[in-house]
Amino acid sequence: MAFPQLPPPSSQTALAAAAASLLLYILFATIRRSQHSSLPLPPGPPRRFLVGNLGDVSADHPEEDYMRWGKEYDSDVIHVEVLGQHMIALNSVEAASELLDRRGSNYCDRPRFALFEVMGWGLTLTFLRWGRQFKLHRSLIQKTFTSSNVKVFRPIQLHEARKAVVDLLSHPDSWEEVTLLMTTSVIFRIAFGQEITDVSRKAIRTIHDVPWAASLKDIEAGTAPPSFMPVQKGVLEEIDAVLGVFGDATSASGPRLPTFEDRPALARLDRFLQEVHRSLPLNPLVIPHKSLRENEYHGMRIPAGSLVLANTKAMAADPRVYQDPDTFDPDRYVSAANGGRGEPYPNGNFGFGRRKCPGNFLAMATVYMFLATLLAVYEVEMVIGPDGNLIEPQPAVTIGLGGHPAPFQCQLKLRNPALAELLKEAA
């Protein structure tokens, strides 16, 4: 039996259908809004009819817009609305801890990340919506990576860190690739029991090429924080004292490679790492949380279904907490008992509440081991440019959900060849 043919939809029909859907969505959002309490929303830039703040928030550095509005409206909680979607930026540790940590059961959902779903990452914990599947997945990962459980991965981290620094002995200019491979190899060995070989290198490099390319734009935009090169000297002195870097290779106290047991004695290195985190958060707005129910905070209304963004860049630059926040100064964390200012380690680089990064202890331990080994063997120096002047590196991170350090030029100067020999034997 023949069915009557419907005429193919014209582009006008498709456009009209899209416009009708958008209007219905906005109508629905408006009706939902009228069912809320009468408390005011947090302050924010004025919204326009229907589109709200569409176009007001920059695509590359939204964290800076939220910081600016925080000052303009004298509030650590900022509200914007884009096409009916409420977004709440939290510019202080107090607000983020209160909402995302203490009231975490209401701020544990994630928005849908349609692009990542299309790419097949929908079932990754990071993008799972709140629910049974999330809880099961999260509890398995969290148990594996507690601060005490991650100690079982130390042999892997030690081996990968040493292997990476040995790689640098023969390829001192490939530090970007070497560090990328080291962090990936640690995860692959834990997750799949597989070491990254030369064969797999190219594929991994390709995966990371896109965000690295984007980072160049970031550097050009001049958003890089001040250099940490001069601070290196103090860190090297501490490493020398603990590991006897320039000692006689034949003596008992002679040079040796760092281990995890040295970490408490390398307090300056720890402060240095924390200051890198503070001055250059990899994910300035963390990953958006989504609220489940309407909530009240200091007399303001946080609507149900809001995207909540923890602005770690604003937290790290909070002048009430950090003196001269734009200065790279690891000594800011030295306790008052030891003659310092005792400023707190940055809070939030690994997120908050029930979505906080479960890999934080593992990540910090890997970075510690790599950096301690690197700085025992090498001094990181600036390169000389074509004009004969030293090129000051401009550290920056790529834009997007998973930030990477952007490439910069430096050279590695071998400190004690005897230690390099020890390293080759140990790797």
Strands (E), 171-306: 289-290, 295-297, 300-302
* Contact assessment for residue 269 and residue 242, using Cβ atoms and an 8 Å cutoff: no
The span from the CA of 338 to the CA of 321, in Å, is: 19
Q: In whole angstroms, how close is the CB of 186 to ligand HEM at the nearest point?
A: 8
Judged by CB under 6 A, the stretch of 60-68, 138-146, 376-384, 413-421 that binds ligand HEM is 138-146
Q: Does 138 bind ligand HEM (CB under 6 A)?
A: yes
Judged by CB under 6 A, the stretch of 71-79, 221-229, 262-270, 351-359 that binds ligand HEM is 351-359
Which residues share a beta bridge with 85? 82
Residues within window 295-334 making contact with ligand HEM, judged by CB under 6 A: none
Distances (CA, A) of 335 to 319, 331, 332, 341, 343: 18, 9, 8, 6, 8
Q: In whole angstroms, how close is the CB of 414 to ligand HEM at the nearest point?
A: 27
186 vs 423 by CB, closer to ligand HEM: 186
Q: In whole angstroms, how close is the CB of 114 to ligand HEM at the nearest point?
A: 17
Contact residue for ligand HEM among 125, 249, 380, 410 (CB under 6 A):
125
Q: In whole angstroms, how close is the CB of 108 to ligand HEM at the nearest point?
A: 8
Residue 111 burial (CB count, 10 A): 17
Judged by CB under 6 A, the stretch of 137-145, 152-160, 237-245, 338-346 that binds ligand HEM is 137-145
The span from the CA of 315 to the CA of 96, in Å, is: 9
Kindly give, in sequence order, each residue whose CB lies less than 8 Å from that of residue 384, ignoring residues fewer than 6 positions away. Answer: 390, 391
* Per-residue binder mask for ligand HEM (CB under 6 A), 151-180, x = binder: ------------------------------
Q: In whole angstroms, how close is the CB of 155 to ligand HEM at the nearest point?
A: 17
Q: In whole angstroms, how close is the CB of 320 to ligand HEM at the nearest point?
A: 23
- Reading the block at residue 79, the tokens are 């509200």
Report the sign of the C-alpha dihedral through residues 332, 334, 337, 340, in that order: negative
Residues within window 241-300 making contact with ligand HEM, judged by CB under 6 A: 282-283, 286-287, 289
149 vs 323 by CB, closer to ligand HEM: 149
Q: In whole angstroms, how close is the CB of 355 to ligand HEM at the nearest point?
A: 4
Q: Does 346 bind ligand HEM (CB under 6 A)?
A: no
Q: Is 270 helix (H, G, I), strand (E, B) or coil?
A: helix
Contact residue for ligand HEM among 153, 188, 228, 352 (CB under 6 A):
352
Q: In whole angstroms, how close is the CB of 41 to ligand HEM at the nearest point?
A: 23
189 vs 415 by CB, closer to ligand HEM: 189
* Per-residue binder mask for ligand HEM (CB under 6 A), 353-382, x = binder: --xxxxx--xx-------------------
The span from the CA of 129 to the CA of 117, in Å, is: 12
* Contact assessment for residue 179 and residue 205, using Cβ atoms and an 8 Å cutoff: no
* Contact assessment for residue 100 and residue 315, using Cβ atoms and an 8 Å cutoff: no
* Contact assessment for residue 302 and residue 88, using Cβ atoms and an 8 Å cutoff: yes
Task: Name the pairing type of β-strands 295-297 and 307-310.
Answer: unpaired
Kindly give, in sequence order, each residue whose CB lies less than 8 Å from that of residue 36, ignoring residues fewer than 6 positions away. Answer: 294, 301, 303, 304
Q: In whole angstroms, how close is the CB of 396 to ligand HEM at the nearest point?
A: 15
Q: In whole angstroms, how close is the CB of 5 to ligand HEM at the nearest point?
A: 48
107 vs 255 by CB, closer to ligand HEM: 107
The span from the CA of 155 to the CA of 117, in Å, is: 35
Q: Does 350 bind ligand HEM (CB under 6 A)?
A: yes
Q: In whole angstroms, how close is the CB of 363 to ligand HEM at the nearest point?
A: 4
Contact residue for ligand HEM among 105, 126, 147, 259 (CB under 6 A):
126
Q: Which of 314, 401, 324, 359 is nearest to 94 (CA)?
A: 314
Residues that bind ligand HEM (rule: CB under 6 A) add up to a total of 21
Q: Is 88 helix (H, G, I), strand (E, B) or coil?
A: strand
CA-based R_g, the chain, Å: 25
Judged by CB under 6 A, the stretch of 58-66, 68-76, 210-218, 348-356 that binds ligand HEM is 348-356
Binding residues (CB under 6 A) for ligand HEM: these are: 125-126, 138, 141, 145, 282-283, 286-287, 289, 349-352, 355-359, 362-363
